[in-house]
Amino acid sequence: MSEAKTEEVEEKPKSPLLKIIALVVVVILLMVLAIGGTLFATGMFSKKDKPDAELVLDEGVNAKGHDAPKAGGHGDAKGAHGDDKKGHGDDKKGGTPGGTPKKKAVPADANALFEKSYMELDEKKPLVANVSGSRKVMQVNLSLMTTYDDRVFKNVEKHRAALRSSVLDVLRLVTEADLAKPDFRAELAVKLRERINSELERLERFGGIEEVFFSEFVYQ
């Protein structure tokens, strides 16, 4: 009887320890479950598809391909706007529309670098001037030549009245002694070209007449 009681007395202290251990285990399980639930809720356990390396490379190439045209496009646009602004700047300064006239190349002609164009200063009305210090009269028709584009002759047509007046001022200075010179007509053609170009430069900031010919020259 005494031994049985002793055993019972010894077993009783073990009971609270077991309860404590069981309680700790339960608490730990609850903590594990709580942490696991939180991680699951935040998507930590969801599968993330790893991007395919080839797909990433393709996307990178496509992205560069889309960027390149944009850069080039903006560059072309800038260049174009820059040219336009420059052209308008020439107009504001009094230059011919679209900038300075360009020479017209003739690649098929081995003997000529640029195409020559001709026009009469005034087909309808010849230039008539008195010879200085004389009763004689000169009647002249002028033909103009240029290798520049059509803007030069458009300027001539636009300012024909002013050009006729300038040419007559030169013709009125001719004397009978000048008419007797062997190279008179060649020298007069040079003076007329310089005067015409000077007037065009004053009005349009560009001359462009390279030679002057006499399609008619009469004095009497």
Task: Give the CB-side neighbour count of residue 169, counting CA atoms within 13 A.
Answer: 11
Judged against a pLDDT cut of 60, whether residue 45 lies above it is answered with: no
Q: How far apart are CA 195 and CA 175, in angstroms?
A: 18
Q: How confident is the model at residue 114 (pLDDT cuts 50, 70, 90)?
A: confident
Indicate the angle between helix axes 184-204 and 160-171, nearest 10 degrees.
140
**CATH number, domain at 213?**
3.30.479.30
Q: How confident is the model at residue 147 (pLDDT cuts 50, 70, 90)?
A: very high
pLDDT in tens, 126-139: 999 999 999 999 99
**Tokens 């900031």 sit at which residue?**
205
Assess if residue 69 is contained within a domain: no
Assess if residue 11 is contained within a domain: yes
Containing domain of residue 30, as a range? 2-41
205: left (phi over 0), alpha (psi -120 to 50) or beta: left
Looking at residue 19, its pLDDT comes to 78
Strands 137-146 and 211-219: antiparallel
Assess if residue 52 is contained within a domain: no
Q: How far apart are CA 141 and CA 162, in angstroms?
A: 16
Q: How far apart are CA 175 and CA 193, in angstroms?
A: 19
End-to-end CA distance of the chain: 175
* 215 vs 89, higher pLDDT: 215
- Do 35 and 121 share a domain, yes or no? no
Assess if residue 185 is contained within a domain: yes
Looking at the 3D structure of the chain, how many domains does it have? 2
Q: How far is CA 162 from CA 90, 136, 205, in A?
A: 23, 25, 15
Structure tokens of 37? 């639930």
Q: Of 8-22, 76-90, 113-127, give the range with the top mean pLDDT.
A: 113-127
Q: How far apart are CA 210 and CA 123, in angstroms?
A: 19
Looking at residue 120, its pLDDT comes to 95
Judged against a pLDDT cut of 90, whether residue 215 lies above it is answered with: yes
Average pLDDT over residues 58-75: 43
Q: How confident is the model at residue 151 (pLDDT cuts 50, 70, 90)?
A: very high
Assess if residue 124 is contained within a domain: yes
pLDDT in tens, 9-44: 444 555 677 778 888 888 888 888 877 777 666 666
pLDDT in tens, 49-58: 444 444 444 4
Assess if residue 93 is contained within a domain: no
Looking at residue 98, its pLDDT comes to 62
Assess if residue 109 is contained within a domain: no
